[in-house]
Amino acid sequence: MTYSRIMGTGSYLPKNIVTNKDLEKLMDTSDQWIQDRTGIKQRHWAADDETTVDMVEHAARRAVDSAGIEMSEIDMIILGTTTPNLIFPSSACLLQARLGLPGIAAFDLNAACTSFIYCLSVADQFIKSGMAKKILVCGVETLSRALDWEDRTTAVLFADGAGAVVLEASEEPGILSTHIHADGRYADLLGTDVGVSCGFENAPNGGLKILMNGREVFKMAVRTLGQIVDETLAANNMEKSDIDWLIPHQANLRIIMATAKKLNMPMERVIVTVDKHGNTSAASVALALDEGVRSGRVKRGDTILLEAFGGGFTWGSALIKY
């Protein structure tokens, strides 16, 4: 049987660190208010001349180096983002050119904060079908350019960064299963109100801003992530105790703690980066995975559960033997 196995991980965070104290100077908020509600202490924002593709190139190269392969061995790029450089061509195509990989398939995928999980699921199918052997899977966001400074409930949350993995066909177990879902009936609870076909008239200066009903999003996230934990374990005939590490989407510490409680998992077995990174949406899980690996906590042979929830609504999980 052919599996998709993670052979390398990489990440990148912009140098510009913005603390809660810094945000106190920009809006009516406080360090304590932000920490109490989200667990966030600081976040990284891209430099003025730094783009989504700039960031993901760093993460991609680090993932390929970590995998111990030549860049030329990559035969597909799947990139998850809600903040591409351009509407088209895709950021995956722009990244492909920078990496010197002409001719291979390259495309973007947008499932909001669940994008990286969706990308893993799609890549897993390509490898299992034999259509690809080594896939570069990325998650990246430049959300600092979509913040509404008049809405402190969202402006304090979102941040920038990139993560990537190299998936390789293997006879050894890797991705055991992926589970992806969506429910567009709740689209008005988390999203934006501008776009190409809808127009940009609703946003000042032709920009965009994130709109969120925080209370309802929180309730939906806790409920759906609890359900997907059960779904994932049942699909693999596993018990909660079989999971070594939970690597969740880093949106809110309270949501992360609720999912850990569902698994009866102590927080010492959860990779938490939300305090340092904020919510980096599509980059979130990939960043946390790379930190878990590079810190030495996540080791070969460990069973890890990745999960995420995002606007759409979308949600998903990946159970992986690392």
pLDDT at 210 over 90: no
Are 168 and 180 found together in one domain? no
Across the chain, mean pLDDT equals 95
Query: Are 205 and 153 part of one and the same domain?
Result: no
Higher pLDDT among residues 101 and 199, named by residue: 101
**Which one of 137, 172, 207 terminates a domain?**
172
Comparison of pLDDT for 211 and 311, the residue scoring more: 311
Q: Can you give the pTM of this predicted structure?
A: 0.96
Catalytic residue flag (residue 16)? no
Closest listed residue to residue 247, CA positions, set 307, 164, 317? 307
pLDDT at 94: 98
Query: Which residue do the tokens 């079989």 mark?
Result: 242
Same domain, 213 and 142: no
Catalytic pick among 93, 249, 252, 277: 249
Report which of residues 202 and 116 the model is more confident about.
Answer: 116
- Pair 182, 309 in one domain: yes
> Does residue 214 share a domain with residue 168?
no
Banded model confidence at residue 321, pLDDT cuts 50, 70, 90: very high
* CA neighbours closer than 13 Å in the CB half-sphere of residue 254: 13
Mean pLDDT of 103-127: 98
Assess whether 279 carries a catalytic annotation. Answer: yes
Question: pLDDT over 90 for what percent of the chain?
Answer: 88
Tell me the pLDDT band of 207, cut-offs 50, 70 and 90. low
Three-state secondary structure readout of the chain: CCEEEEEEEEEECCCEEEEHHHHHCCCCCCHHHHHHHHCCCEEEECCCCCCHHHHHHHHHHHHHHHHCCCHHHCCEEEEECCCCCCCCCCHHHHHHHHHCCCCCEEEEECECECHHHHHHHHHHHHHHCCCCCEEEEEEEEEHHHHCCCCCHHHHCCECEEEEEEEEEEECCCCEEEEEEEECHHHHHHEECCCECCCECCCCHHHCCCCEECHHHHHHHHHHHHHHHHHHHHHHCCCCHHHCCEEEECCCCHHHHHHHHHHCCCCHHHECCCHHHHCECHHHHHHHHHHHHHHCCCCCCCCEEEEEEEECCCEEEEEEEEC
The C-alpha atoms of residue 310 and residue 315 are separated, in whole angstroms, by 6
Quickly state the pLDDT bin for 293 (edges 50, 70, 90).
very high
Q: What is the CATH number of the domain that holds 292?
A: 3.40.47.10
Label residue 193 by pLDDT band (50, 70, 90). confident
Q: Are residues 195 and 296 in the same domain?
A: yes
Confidence of residue 121 (pLDDT cuts 50, 70, 90): very high
Residues 166 and 19 placed together within one structural domain of the fold: yes
User: Into how many domains does the chain fold?
Assistant: 2
Lowest mean pLDDT among 61-70, 184-193, 300-309: 184-193
* pLDDT of 169: 98
Statement: residue 78 has pLDDT above 60: yes
Out of 20, 85, 252, 279, pick the active-site residue: 279
pLDDT at 133 over 70: yes
- Catalytic residue, from 93, 110, 113, 138: name it: 113
End position of a domain, from candidates 172, 187, 216: 172
Do 106 and 251 belong together in one domain?
no
The domain boundary, picked from 108, 138, 172, lies at: 172
Tell whether 26 and 79 lie within a shared domain: yes
Q: Are residues 40 and 151 both part of a single domain?
A: yes
Residues 73 and 221 reside in one and the same domain: no
- What is residue 10's predicted lDDT score, i.e. its pLDDT? 98
The two beta strands, 76-80 and 134-142, are parallel
Does 249 participate in catalysis according to the annotation?
A: yes
Structural domain span for residue 155 = 3-172
Q: What is the pLDDT of residue 202?
A: 61
Residues 146 and 233 in one domain: no
